Amino acid sequence: MKTDYQKVYEHNFVEIFKLTDQIYFRYASWDERNQCNGGFIVFDDFLAVIDAPGIEGAKEMLAEAAQLFGPKPIKYVILTHGHWDHADGLPVFTELGAAVIGSANMLKKLETGGVQLPELSVGIERSARIVIGGMAFEPFTLPGSVHSEEDLFIVVPSENMVFTGDAVAELPNLFFGNGDFDNWLAALDVIEAKNFATICVGHGRVKDGSHFAVQRAYFNALNGAVDDDNDSAKKAAEMAGENVAARHIAALRERRQAQ
C-alpha cells in the first residue's frame, strides 16, 4: 500500500494529501472536529469537491482550496451520501453556483427538503460514466441501503481509485444508524471485487484492498456478538476496542429489534 502521499496542508486536525496531479484527499479528524473526509479534484479552470462536511467544514474547504489551488471556482459537489457530516455544508457550495452530483436517492432527498438544485446537477440511478474537464468518473450505487439509502461510490477509473463515503471506514468510525447490515456486508464483497488500488474512505486514512478483509471480519464478529457468541464479542473488542465494539453491538441489536 502506498503511504507516502505528499502532505500539502495541515491545520486544525485537517490534513490534505496529493494523491495524483489532480486528486487530493482531505483527511479530517472525527474525534477532534466531527468532520468527515473529502476531496478536491483540480481542473484547469475550476474545482470539484467530494462531500460537504458541515457548514464550518465546507467554509474551511473554500479557504483551503484558495490557498492550495488559487482563485478557481468550485463547479461541482459530489456527495457520497446524505448524512449530516457529509452533506450539511452543501449550501456553502451551491450558493456559489456549484452543481450537485449524487445518487438519485440523494437528489430526491434534497429536493424533498426544499433544496433548489443548480443546473447541471445529476442523480445517478445505478451507474454512469461522466466526463468532467476531460476526467472520466464512473459513479455507481448498489441495491437497497448499504451504509445509508443514498450511498454513491465515486470511481476514477484512470487511477483505479474510489471514494466510498462511510460504507468503508476505519472500524471506530463505523456508524450503523440507518444502514442495512446484511446488505452492507454483501456490498463489501462487491466493492472489493473491483480491485481498486486506492480507497478513499469516509473516515480514517486512505486504504488499499486489504482493508476489506479487516472490515468484513469485524462485521462477522459483530454479527456473532449480537447473537450472544462470547468469542465473537471478544474478537470485536480486540479489533476495535471494548467501548467501540460495545457501542456497535448495542446499535445492531437495536436495529434488529426494530425490524
Encode pLDDT of 182-210 as tens digits. Answer: 999 999 999 999 999 999 999 999 999 99
Q: What angle do CA 52, 101, 20 make, to 5 degrees?
A: 70
| Ordered alpha helix ranges (H), the chain | 30-33, 54-69, 84-87, 90-94, 104-112, 181-192, 210-226, 230-240, 242-258
pLDDT value at residue 255: 85
CA separation, residue 245 to residues 18, 135, 219 (Å):
33, 40, 10
Q: Residue 2's pLDDT band (boundaries 50, 70, 90)?
A: low
What b/e string do you get for 151-170 counting C-beta neighbours within 10 Å, with b at 16 or more? bbbbbbeeeebbbbbbbbbb
In whole angstroms, give the CA distance from residue 187 to residue 182.
9
* Residue 129 and residue 138 in contact, taking contact as beta carbons nearer than 8 Å: yes
In whole angstroms, give the CA distance from residue 26 to residue 66.
14
pLDDT digits (tens, 9 = 90+) for 160-184: 999 999 999 999 999 998 889 999 9
Q: Tell me, what amino acid is at 232? A: S
In whole angstroms, give the CA distance from residue 259 to residue 255.
6
Q: Residue 257's pLDDT band (boundaries 50, 70, 90)?
A: confident
Q: Tell me the CATH number for domain 6-208.
A: 3.60.15.10
In whole angstroms, give the CA distance from residue 259 to residue 250.
15
In whole angstroms, give the CA distance from residue 105 to residue 125.
8
pLDDT digits (tens, 9 = 90+) for 90-134: 999 999 999 999 999 999 999 999 999 998 999 999 999 999 999
Q: Tell me, what amino acid is at 209? A: G
* Residue 226 and residue 253 in contact, taking contact as beta carbons nearer than 8 Å: yes
pLDDT value at residue 258: 78
pLDDT digits (tens, 9 = 90+) for 57-78: 999 999 999 999 999 999 999 9
pLDDT digits (tens, 9 = 90+) for 30-46: 999 999 999 999 999 99
Which residues are registered as beta bridge partners of 132? 135
Grid coordinates of 73:
471556482
- Position 3 pLDDT exceeds 70: no
- Position 212 pLDDT exceeds 80: yes
What b/e string do you get for 15-39 counting C-beta neighbours within 10 Å, with b at 16 or more? bbbbbeebbbbbbbebeebebbbbb
Q: Residue 11's pLDDT band (boundaries 50, 70, 90)?
A: very high
DSSP letter assigned to residue 171:
G
* Residue 167 and residue 122 in contact, taking contact as beta carbons nearer than 8 Å: no
In 3-state terms the chain splits into helix, strand, coil percentages (rounded to 5) of 40, 25, 35
Instruction: Give me the residue spans of the domains in the chain.
Output: 6-208
The dihedral built from the CA positions of residue 169, 171, 173 and 175, taken in this order, carries a sign that is: positive
Q: Residue 85's pLDDT band (boundaries 50, 70, 90)?
A: very high
